[in-house]
Amino acid sequence: MQSQKRIRVMTVDDHQILQMGIKFLLLAFDDIELVAEALSGEEALRLCGEAQPDVILMDVMMPNMDGLATTQAIREQCPHAQVVILTSFQSNALVQQATQAGAIGYLLKGVPIDDIAVAIRTAAQGRPALCPEAAQALIQAANSAGGPTLGQDLTDRQHEVLALMVEGLSNNDIAKRLILSPSTIRHHVSEVLSKLHAANRAEAAALAVRHNLVHPPKESEGSAPDLQSAYSIPAYAYPSRHTS
C-alpha cells in the first residue's frame, strides 16, 4: 500500500524553546513532517523557497519583520503555502489584520497539540482553521460594519459557490462541480468576498457557518445535521454558542 503523503510544516518563531517543544510534539503524528524552522521573518522567506512547506505555523510578535508582514510576503512569494498564526496575543484587530495578510488560520498558544495537528491538516486542505476566539472576532467585525443583514444580497449562484468554499474546494474544483468556467468562478468568489466584507476565503467560510448562510447537503429523512458536522468543520473553527 502506498504511504500517504506527509504534510510539510515550517515553524516561524523567535523563541527557540517553543519551537523545540512543537517539534517534539509533532513527532507523534505520522502524517506531519517538520521540514524547516525559522527564527525570524527574513529567515522564513528564505527557507520557504527551499523547504517548500505546505503549512507554516507563524508567530506574530517578532523583531524587525513581524509575523503579519512575513505572512503577506510569504503568500506572495510562496502562494502554495498556507499560514496558520500561532500566537499568545488575542485581539479583534490582530485577527482581522492576520486574515487580511493572508493567514488561513489563527490559534492561541497553549492549545493542545492535537488541535494544532487538526489545524495543520485543515489548512493543508485550503480550509479555515480558526480558534473560537478568532472566529468570533471576525464575526464581530462584520456585524459592526452595519448596513443590511450579512449575506442577504448574495445571489443563488453565489450561495452555491459559498457553500463549496466552506467545503474547502478550490476554484477549479468548484468550476467542475457547477460546470462553469474557472474565470466565472473567480468572479463569483470575488463577489462573495466583497458582499461578506471578508478579506479572504477563511473569513468568508467562518462568517457563512456562523450566520447559516449555506445549507448542508440533504440527508435522509429524520436526520438534521448541523453545518459543522455536514461540512466536517473542526470544532475550534466554529464559534461556541452561550446560553444565558
Using H for helix, E for strand and C for coil, what is the string for the chain? CCCCCCEEEEEECCCHHHHHHHHHHHCCCCCEEEEEEECCHHHHHHHHHHHCCCEEEECCCCCCCCHHHHHHHHHHHCCCCEEEEEECCCCHHHHHHHHHHCCCEEEECCCCHHHHHHHHHHHHCCCCEECHHHHHHHHHHHHHCCCCCCCCCCCHHHHHHHHHHHCCCCHHHHHHHHCCCHHHHHHHHHHHHHHHCCCCHHHHHHHHHHCCCCCCCCCCCCCCCCHHHHCCCCHHHCCCCCCC
Lookup: cell for 78:
510562496
Query: Do 30 and 114 sit in the same domain of this protein?
Result: yes
CA–CA gap between residue 146 and residue 18 (Å, rounded): 40
Report yes or no on 133 lying in a domain: no
Query: Do 217 and 144 sit in the same domain of this protein?
Result: yes
Residue 229 to residues 53, 105, 208, 210, Cα–Cα distance (Å): 29, 19, 14, 13
215-219, long-range: CB < 8 A, 24+ apart? 215/163
Could you tell me the pTM of the whole model?
0.61
The yes-or-no verdict on residue 244 having pLDDT over 50 is no
Query: Do 98 and 158 sit in the same domain of this protein?
Result: no
Residue 160 is part of a domain; what is its CATH number?
1.10.10.10
111 Cα distance to chain centroid: 16
**Does 221 or 194 have the greater pLDDT score?**
194
What is the residue type of 237? A
Count of structural domains within the chain: 2
pLDDT given at position 148: 58
CA–CA gap between residue 109 and residue 121 (Å, rounded): 17
Q: What is the pLDDT of residues 119-144, one digit of tens each?
A: 999 999 988 888 888 888 777 776 66
Q: Which residue, of 99, 126, 153, is where some domain finishes?
A: 126
What mean pLDDT value characterizes the chain? 82
Query: Do 70 and 180 sit in the same domain of this protein?
Result: no
**Does 59 or 206 have the greater pLDDT score?**
59
Query: Do 122 and 148 sit in the same domain of this protein?
Result: no
